[in-house]
Structure 1
Amino acid sequence: MTQWLISIEGTDAGHHMALILALTAAVLHAVFGALQKGRHDPWLTRGAIDFCYFVMAIPFVVLVVPAPEPHMWPIFAVVWVIHVGYKLLQAWAYTKGAYTVVYPVVRGTGPLFTVIGAYLIFGETFTGTQWVGIAVLLAGIFGLALYNMVFLVSERDTLHAALGLAALTGLFVALYTTYDAYGIRATANPFTFLAWFFMIDGVFMPIVAIIKWRRMENRPTLGPLMARGMVGGVVAPFSFGAVMLATRLDKVGEAAVLRETSTVFAAIIGWVFLKETVGPRRIALMALIALGAVIVEMGG
């Protein structure tokens, strides 16, 4: 598997596989976001998820993948710091605003910053047609957030804080997308990066969650919380792992943009599972997001 992935880097086969991986990541990332916003406090949910994928990563680190090269340790340290910042901001934003407002703003600002970062770090450029696609996709994403702000938000008193945190979280999405792409390209075996990433990344939030849980007056029972953590612990490696592999196989910017079709899937999840309203305007905006992604892909 590893040798095959390495062999298709930079080829047409690699481009097509990166497309499949980025869209897979989009679906799974929407599921992951809904898990964090659902029944339990977002801080506790994130802690449970991180603990589960930390435990799941240990056998792969010990028994399966080669050890990281010495130059990877400083990279892992920076990756850890960026992801801690992202997760703190994401959980904070979810405590301030509705999922269907926060999520589109995060996912809308993320790819724009990522495309800029990919140009500065990797020298990637987009065609004029692809920039049109990005504009269409972002118009759909921010239009969806605006619609939700006007018609659906219940947390009116914390709306401005939620939007500010969501935009800042989007900047951290761009930071981790570009830096993770740098990290996964810096090691010979991409699965070494992934296994060690999920073990290292899973250390911080469980500690935060335990502290928060112990301070609660009405503590939730751990069984349902850890069950949600188990689901998230399986979804996260496939979601984040898929987009990381996509950034190794093909352009970082394209993978980031295609992943943001997750906003469409997030709206569907919000409608079906979180009982949030979906009407013709939101369907039209979701179609705009999908159209933008198609333009980006076809214009490359």
Structure 2
Amino acid sequence: MTPLVTTAVLLAAVTHASWNAIAHRITDRLVGFTLILTGGVLIGLAAAPFAPLPAAGAWPYLLASAVIHLVYVILLMTSFRLGDFGQAYPIARGSAPLVVTALAAVFAHEVPDGWAAAGIAVSCAGLTGVALWGLRGRRPDWPAIGAALATGFSIAAYTVVDGLGVRAAHSPVGYTAWLMVIQGVAIPAYAVHRWRGETATVLRPFAALGLFGAFLSVSAYGLVLWAQTRAALAPIAALRESSVKSCSCGNNAAVQGAG
């Protein structure tokens, strides 16, 4: 990994943790993700005309990733509902790099060397430590932990699918734009159906915060997708989670204080 790739992934880590914190601060999870995903669709539609269309070989990955991302959002919403941010988030993010390492070895034929494997292990151990620290003095909430682990598996799945897809696309910006469009339709459509004529009223109080979260989300994942065209998947996945430890600890009290 070059210094440029490392910097891009670290920046993506910070922005990704930030949009997850924003999503958690919007008390109605469906409202938060509806705004973030709708914003992602709008950004994708705005960017798509200015980027090369992904190559034909990338579209199966795009469609598969959209389905996996939908599962991820549902699981993330569930884990936030069942457990507090400081516990659920590091478990979800910390379990993913280990699974990415295994999947990348099978599907991308990328086996990390000793130093890379050690770095992945240290990253996952650190995030696990954050989660365990949050459990001190309390009984484990097994449903929340199970949802967070399932979220981690979904993260690993879309990480590998998108890593292979963006390489096949020969256009990181085009792949990112169309992924935002394809993956961002289902949950907002469900929300509109559920709220019907009250959609604007429900979304308006959180619109600015949610759309800012969308900008952070697209920026973060676009940086990761670009990095995946220039380095192995597993080290990127581990490095991406490096800022979650401080972000989760720093946000835990604030989130609990906000209810």
Shared topology, TM-score over 0.5?
yes
Deviation string 1:59-100 (CA, Å, 9 cap, x unpaired) is 222x31122333333222111111111111111111110000
Asked if the contact 1:40/1:225 (under 8 Å) is kept, the reply is no
Q: Does 1:255 pair with 2:236?
A: yes
* Structure 2 alignment gaps of length 5 or more: none
**Partner of 1:83 in structure 2?**
69
CA 1:163 to 1:215, structure 2 compared with 1: closer, same or farther past 3 Å?
A: farther
**Partner of 1:290 in structure 2?**
none
**Partner of 2:223 in structure 1?**
242
2:188 maps to a residue whose letter is P
**Partner of 1:28 in structure 2?**
15
CA 1:228 to 1:117, structure 2 compared with 1: closer, same or farther past 3 Å?
A: same
CA 1:212 to 1:31, structure 2 compared with 1: closer, same or farther past 3 Å?
A: farther
Asked if the contact 2:43/2:177 (under 8 Å) is kept, the reply is no
CA RMSD of aligned residues (A): 2.3
2:73 maps to a residue whose letter is K
Q: Give the Å deviation of 1:35.
A: 1.2
* Structure 1 alignment gaps of length 5 or more: 1-13, 277-300
Q: Give the Å deviation of 1:121.
A: 1.6
Q: Distance in 2 between matches of 1:203 and 1:269?
A: 32
Deviation string 1:121-147 (CA, Å, 9 cap, x unpaired) is 222122223333333222221111011
CA 1:130 to 1:149, structure 2 compared with 1: closer, same or farther past 3 Å?
A: same
2:213 maps to a residue whose letter is G
Q: Give the Å deviation of 1:243.
A: 1.0
Q: Distance in 2 between matches of 1:220 and 1:111?
A: 40
Q: Distance in 2 between matches of 1:30 and 1:58?
A: 24
Residue-pair matches, total: 256
**Partner of 2:57 in structure 1?**
71
* Residue from 65, 82, 97 that aligns with 2:83: 97
2:112 maps to a residue whose letter is F
**Partner of 1:289 in structure 2?**
none
Identity, % of aligned positions = 29
Moved more, 259-268 or 27-36: 259-268
Q: Distance in 2 between matches of 1:41 and 1:262?
A: 25
1:31 maps to a residue whose letter is S
Partner SS, residue 66 of structure 1: coil
* Residue from 214, 233, 236 that aligns with 2:214: 233
Q: Distance in 1 between matches of 2:90 and 2:37?
A: 23
CA 1:138 to 1:47, structure 2 compared with 1: closer, same or farther past 3 Å?
A: same
Asked if the contact 2:84/2:256 (under 8 Å) is kept, the reply is no
In the TM superposition, 1:153-164 aligns within 5 A as: 159-164=141-146
Partner SS, residue 150 of structure 1: coil
Q: Give the Å deviation of 1:40.
A: 2.2
Q: Distance in 2 between matches of 1:167 and 1:48?
A: 25
Look at both structures and tell me which one has the larger radius of gyration over its CA atoms: 1
In the TM superposition, 1:45-56 aligns within 5 A as: 45-56=32-43
Deviation string 1:209-243 (CA, Å, 9 cap, x unpaired) is 33454699xx9742222112211111011111111
Asked if the contact 2:85/2:255 (under 8 Å) is kept, the reply is no
Q: Distance in 2 between matches of 1:101 and 1:163?
A: 8
